[in-house]
């Protein structure tokens, strides 16, 4: 087993375990911080998939932005909500969790089936890419290529998403404004 | 190989959808699972970078979604004093 494979399994295990902990724990603050670890492990997986720029973006946006937002929202929404939630979960523990667990397990089985049948290594476009040498090599620096592509091939989605991001941020600021004239 | 790891994450997060802000975290995890797939197969597209590019777009979209959703959650909390979606059942007062 090569070092890359070993790293992949370690990262995957960390991501899965921390995600399971996020799902399973009762303490919301703790689950948020475990989500932090999940995101870092995912960034490591992106690096292993030779997408260093995406990994950096993941760390900056998710860890720096989204997680802080979630923490803020949680802290602002007060302590008593946590107690209410804890009480409810004790009451409805089997009633609420069983359908969710069944759904997740069945869906997981379906997906594993799909992966097993898809025969990923022999897909025709992957073979074509291998024939054309269109595979990212481990020593390539992709950031420049991504920048050039972003400003040429993907200019329209880029502008679209910038406008959408602005609209979303203005909307969020408007929604969370205090008072609202009442 | 990469795929098997990530689907577990996304799927077990559907389990986490019972209450509160945790639903939002679950959505984020599912999005992350999808992004991981995009990145993994983006390896086979060196010239156009299709996978990585749309992974970037998806990350930005997730950020926008979260900002709006958290604003909505805060507003709902102000109105109802709870963030359990099971108890938020009327649209106007």
Q: What is the distance in angstroms between the Cα of B41 and the nearest Cα belonging to chain A?
A: 8
Tell me what ipTM this predicted complex has.
Answer: 0.76
Could B64 and A150 be called an inter-chain contact, meaning their C-beta atoms sit closer than 8 Å?
no
Residues A51, A138 contacting (CB under 8 angstroms): no
Can you spell out the DSSP letters for B38-86? HHHHHTT-TTT-HHHHHHHHHHHHHHHHHHHHHHHHHHHHHHHS---TT
Phi-psi region of A119 (alpha: psi -120 to 50; beta: other; left: phi over 0): left
**Residue A164 pLDDT > 80:** yes
The shortest CB-CB distance from A12 to any of B5, B55, B59 is to B5
For chain B positions 8-67, those within 8 Å of chain A (CB to CB) are 8-9, 11-22, 24-26, 28-29, 32, 35-36, 39-49, 51-53, 55-57, 59-67
The pTM of the full predicted model, rounded to 2 decimals, is 0.77
For residue range A84-134, list pLDDT tens digits in order.
555 555 555 555 567 767 777 777 777 777 777 776 666 666 667 666 666
Question: Is A136's Cβ below 8 Å from some Cβ in B?
Answer: yes
- Residue range A37-61: average pLDDT? 83
Domain locations along chain A? 1-77
Q: Does A57 contact chain B (CB < 8 Å)?
A: yes
CA atoms of A106 and B7, how far apart (whole Å): 12
A134 token code pair: 């269109």
Whether residue B52 is predicted with pLDDT greater than 70 in this model: the reply is yes
In A146-170, which positions are buried (b, 16+ CB within 10 angstroms) versus exposed (e)?
A: beebbeeebeeebeebeeeeeebee
Q: What percent of chain A has pLDDT over 90?
A: 1
Query: A1-77: what fold?
Result: 1.20.120
CA A175, CA B8: separation in Å to the nearest integer? 34
Q: Residue B86 falls within a domain, yes or no? A: no
Look at A19-23, A109-113, A177-181, B34-38 and tell me which has the smallest mean pLDDT.
A177-181
Residues 6+ apart with CB under 8 A from A49: B2, B36, B39, B40, B42, B43
Domain that residue B46 falls in: 2-80
Total of domains in chain B: 1
- In this model, does residue B75 exceed pLDDT 80? no
pLDDT above 50 (res A73): yes
Q: Are the Cβ atoms of B65 and A62 closer than 8 angstroms? A: no
The answer to whether residue B93 is domain-embedded is no
CATH number, domain of B26, equals 1.10.287.3510
Binned at pLDDT 50, 70 and 90, residue A169 comes out as: confident
| Per-residue pLDDT reduced to its tens digit, B31-48 | 887 788 777 777 776 666
Please report which confidence band the pLDDT of residue B63 belongs to, taking 50, 70 and 90 as the band edges.
confident
Mean pLDDT throughout A58-84? 74
Higher pLDDT, residue B2 or B33:
B33
pLDDT of residue A6 exceeding 80: yes
- The DSSP call for residue A64 is I
Query: Sign of the CA dihedral B4, B64, A152, A137?
Result: negative
Q: Is the pLDDT of residue A1 over 80?
A: no
CA distance A73 to B76: 11
Residue B14: strand, helix, or coil: helix
Residue B10 maps to a domain: yes
pLDDT value, residue B16: 47
**Chain A residues near residue B18 by CB distance under 8 angstroms:** 89, 96-97, 100
Decide if B21 is inside a domain: yes
pLDDT at res. A182: 45
Report residue A136's pLDDT band, with 50, 70 and 90 as the boundaries.
Answer: low
Count of beta carbons in the 10 Å neighbourhood of residue A58 = 28
């Amino acid at each position: 087993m090569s070092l890359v494979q070993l790293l992949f399994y370690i990262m995957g295990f960390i991501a899965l375990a921390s995600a399971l902990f996020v799902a399973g724990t009762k303490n919301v603050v703790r689950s948020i911080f475990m989500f932090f670890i999940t995101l870092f492990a995912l960034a490591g997986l992106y690096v292993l998939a030779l997408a260093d720029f995406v990994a950096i973006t993941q760390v900056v946006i998710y860890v720096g932005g989204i997680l802080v937002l979630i923490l803020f929202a949680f802290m602002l929404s007060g302590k008593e909500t946590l107690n209410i939630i804890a009480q409810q979960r004790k009451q409805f523990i089997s009633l609420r969790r069983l359908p969710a667990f069944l759904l997740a397990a069945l869906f997981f089985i379906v997906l594993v089936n799909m992966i097993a049948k898809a025969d990923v290594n022999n897909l025709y476009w992957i073979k074509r890419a291998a024939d054309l040498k269109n595979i990212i090599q481990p020593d390539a620096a992709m950031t420049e290529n991504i920048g050039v592509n972003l400003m040429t091939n993907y200019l329209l989605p880029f502008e679209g998403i910038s406008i959408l991001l602005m609209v979303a941020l203005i909307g969020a600021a408007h929604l969370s404004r205090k008072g609202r004239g009442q | 190989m990469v795929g098997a790891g990530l689907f577990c994450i996304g799927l077990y997060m559907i389990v986490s959808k019972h209450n509160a802000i945790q639903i939002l975290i679950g959505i984020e995890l599912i999005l992350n699972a999808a992004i991981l797939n995009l990145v993994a197969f983006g390896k086979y597209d060196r010239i156009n970078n299709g996978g990585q590019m749309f992974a970037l777009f998806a990350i930005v979209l997730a950020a926008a979604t979260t900002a709006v959703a958290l604003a909505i959650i805060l507003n709902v909390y102000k109105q109802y004093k709870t963030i359990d979606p099971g108890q938020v059942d009327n649209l106007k007062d």
